[in-house]
């Protein structure tokens, strides 16, 4: 019996491809839903700017702007997923986390301790982003940060 043409081997090869196709279809549907919500949020901006007297509630406006950016970042992350050969870059999750925490601080700033905790979370996310940026993709034999440079 030929190993390459065995039904079992063909099934094993077909399952990941089928799951990848299902995942891709779901992500495209999610991107379409997010694009619709992004457009809806844009309409809300126009309503607040054009039809609200005396500038309206600035907290609501800022919260809507940050929700807009969250939708935008998720759509961008889905686009990157397809462009980078089915891989989600970690930095986009960090961007989304920072934006979500900033929105939380703006919307729910009544409790000072919670605001401090949210700020510490933002600091941790920024430090994580810095570490990701200074860490090389390939592991070198010696770290470039701690090398002694000889003249």
Q: What are the CA-CA distances from residue 24 to residues 28, 72, 115 (Å)?
A: 6, 19, 38
Long-range contacts formed by 43-50: CB under 8 A, 24+ apart = none
Could you identify the residue written with the tokens 């844009």?
Answer: 42
Residue with tokens 């920072």: 98
CA distance 27 to 21: 10
| Helix-helix angle 112-134:90-107, to 10 degrees | 160
Alpha carbon distance 43, 37 (integer Å): 10
Ranges 3-12, 35-44, 128-137, most confident: 35-44
Task: Kindly give, in sequence order, each residue whose CB lies less than 8 Å from that of residue 92, ignoring residues fewer than 6 positions away.
Answer: 73, 76, 77, 80
Kindly report the pTM of this predicted structure. 0.70
Each residue of 74-107: pLDDT tens digit? 999 999 999 988 888 888 899 999 988 998 898 8
* pLDDT of 56: 65
CA distances from 35 to 88, 93, 126 (A): 19, 18, 27
Are the beta carbons of 107 and 63 closer than 8 angstroms?
yes
């Amino acid at each position: 019996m030929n190993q390459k043409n065995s039904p079992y081997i063909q099934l094993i090869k077909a399952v990941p491809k089928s799951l990848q196709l299902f995942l891709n279809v779901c992500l495209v549907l999610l991107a379409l839903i997010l694009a619709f919500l992004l457009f809806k949020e844009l309409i809300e901006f126009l309503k607040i700017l054009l039809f609200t007297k005396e500038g309206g509630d600035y907290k609501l406006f800022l919260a809507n702007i940050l929700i807009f950016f969250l939708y935008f970042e998720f759509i961008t992350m889905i686009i990157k997923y397809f462009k980078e050969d089915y891989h989600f870059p970690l930095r986009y999750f960090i961007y989304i986390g920072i934006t979500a925490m900033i929105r939380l601080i703006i919307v729910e700033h009544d409790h000072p301790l919670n605001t401090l905790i949210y700020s510490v979370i933002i600091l941790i996310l920024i430090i994580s982003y810095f570490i990701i940026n200074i860490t090389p993709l390939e592991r070198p034999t010696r770290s470039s940060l701690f090398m002694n440079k000889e003249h």
